[in-house]
Structure 1
């Protein structure tokens, strides 16, 4: 079982994430490339929440290939194209992450390969 590391000697996380996650010996790792909010038909929702849901659906499909699921995520790196997308992304992310929450970084970037994309998510997952 992974262990969240959140020392009391530093400021607590700003949102629902862990400062770090310890992975026990003997666990496998899956490193997932950044996923965009696009479905198998090429459709892209117009809003950050819809795109975030698709990102996590794509990640879930990738993890399933390794016999894992979203509860095995230990690290999230997420990118959004503006501050206005932060609340919708964080609300939706929290629907898909377990407890303790994974370590996480959220960055604002100038854009992605296509202008309709507003969020991209990459993860690291770990399981026995």
Structure 2
């Protein structure tokens, strides 16, 4: 695993099973006690560098990446308190929500959730981005 130690209060979460961060940031950070985990926005980029053309497929990669980050912190999706998601068009909302709802199937209580329409991301082929906050 590529996790660093961070400073005394935090630990970086950069699973080697997902594409590395694009720049100077971590995929996730956990408190030293592992109680709180926040993720960076995850994009629909596979570990092999591929970006599917469909919103649902991209969202499924986002959620798989979040799973990997949570696992590295010893947590899973039942620990998620909040999801923040962004799509580039209202037409993408249904496919995103289908992926989110499948990912949350069986999770209780359901996390808080925000979905926003944005003008775009760092590369034009990205259609959705998802970030999570979790607590163990």
TM-score (norm 2): 0.72
> Hey, what's the Cα distance between the residues in 2 that align with 1:87 and 1:99?
22
Runs of 4+ in 1 over 4 A off after TM superposition: none
Gaps of 5+ in 2: 1-32
User: In the alignment, which of 114, 124, 132 is matched to residue 123 of structure 1?
Assistant: 132
- Once superposed, what is the RMSD of the aligned Cα atoms? 1.3
Q: Which has the higher contact order (CA 8 A, sep 6+)?
A: 1
Gaps of 5+ in 1: 1-25
Q: Does 1:32 align with 2:56?
A: no
> Hey, what's the Cα distance between the residues in 2 that align with 1:34 and 1:105?
13
Q: Is the 8 A contact 2:34 2:73 kept in 1?
A: no
> Hey, what's the Cα distance between the residues in 2 that align with 1:96 and 1:27?
23
User: In the alignment, which of 113, 117, 120 is matched to residue 111 of structure 1?
Assistant: 120
